[in-house]
C-alpha cells in the first residue's frame, strides 16, 4: 500500500468539513486566541478506542489552550454518525463530520474498508496533526489502526516544555 504522507514543515492543506449545524468550516486554522491548531482524525462512532481517546483528550484541552493550541476532531462519518457519537462523548472541543476520502488520502491517512454492519462505508484510520501559526505542519502522527496513538500526557507535557509553559 502506498500513501502520500504530508511531512512536517510542509504547508498543511485547507481542511473544510461540516459542523453539527451543517456549516462548512475550515478547521486547518485555529479560532479565537489560539495560535496553533491540533486536528484529531478519528475512525467512526462505533470505535470504542476513538471514543476513549476523544474523551481523554478533553482532560488536556485547557492545558493546550494555555499554550495557545486549539483542538478540533473530525471523522469520515456523516451527520447522523456525529450526532449519535455525541451522545456517548464528554468532549469540550468541537467535533466535525464529512472528512472525505480524498482529503484523508491527501493527509496520508490509511483508508479501511467498510465493516458491516457497524460501518457501511470506507473510513480513515486515526491521525493527529499540529499546525503552526504560519500554516506549516509541525507534528504528525498517523496510525493504521485505532490502538496506536500518541500518549496524550507525554505529548501535551512535551508541547508545554517546548512552547515555554
Reported confidence tier of residue 84, pLDDT bands at 50, 70, 90: very high
Distance CA 127, CA 41 (A): 5
Express each pLDDT in 58-70 by its tens digit.
999 999 999 999 9
C-alpha angle with apex 29: 40 to 159, nearest 5 degrees? 60
CA 8 from chain center: how many Å? 16
Of 115 and 126, more confident: 126
Rounded CA separation 164/110 (Å): 33
Global confidence as pTM: 0.94
Residue 10 DSSP one-character state: S
- Residue 121's nearest CA partner among 87, 149, 80, 88 is 80
For residue 83, give the DSSP letter: H
DSSP code, position 14: P
DSSP-assigned beta bridge partners for residue 73: 40, 95
What is the share, in percent, of the chain residues with pLDDT greater than 90? 83
Amino acid at each position: 500500500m502506498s500513501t502520500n504522507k504530508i511531512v512536517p514543515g510542509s504547508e498543511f492543506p485547507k481542511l473544510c468539513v461540516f459542523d453539527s449545524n451543517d456549516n462548512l468550516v475550515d478547521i486547518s486554522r485555529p479560532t479565537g486566541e489560539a495560535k496553533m491548531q491540533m486536528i484529531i482524525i478519528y475512525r467512526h462512532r462505533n470505535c470504542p478506542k476513538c471514543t476513549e481517546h476523544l474523551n481523554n483528550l478533553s482532560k488536556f484541552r485547557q492545558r493546550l489552550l494555555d499554550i495557545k493550541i486549539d483542538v478540533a476532531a473530525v471523522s469520515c462519518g456523516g451527520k447522523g454518525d456525529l450526532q449519535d457519537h455525541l451522545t456517548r462523548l464528554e468532549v469540550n472541543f468541537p467535533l466535525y463530520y464529512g472528512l472525505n476520502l480524498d482529503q484523508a488520502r491527501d493527509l496520508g491517512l490509511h483508508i479501511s474498508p467498510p465493516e458491516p454492519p457497524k460501518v457501511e462505508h470506507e473510513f480513515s484510520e486515526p491521525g493527529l496533526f499540529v499546525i503552526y501559526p504560519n500554516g506549516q505542519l509541525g507534528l504528525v502522527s498517523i496510525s493504521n489502526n485505532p490502538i496506536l496513538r500518541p500518549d496524550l500526557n507525554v505529548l501535551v507535557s512535551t508541547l508545554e516544555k517546548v512552547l515555554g509553559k
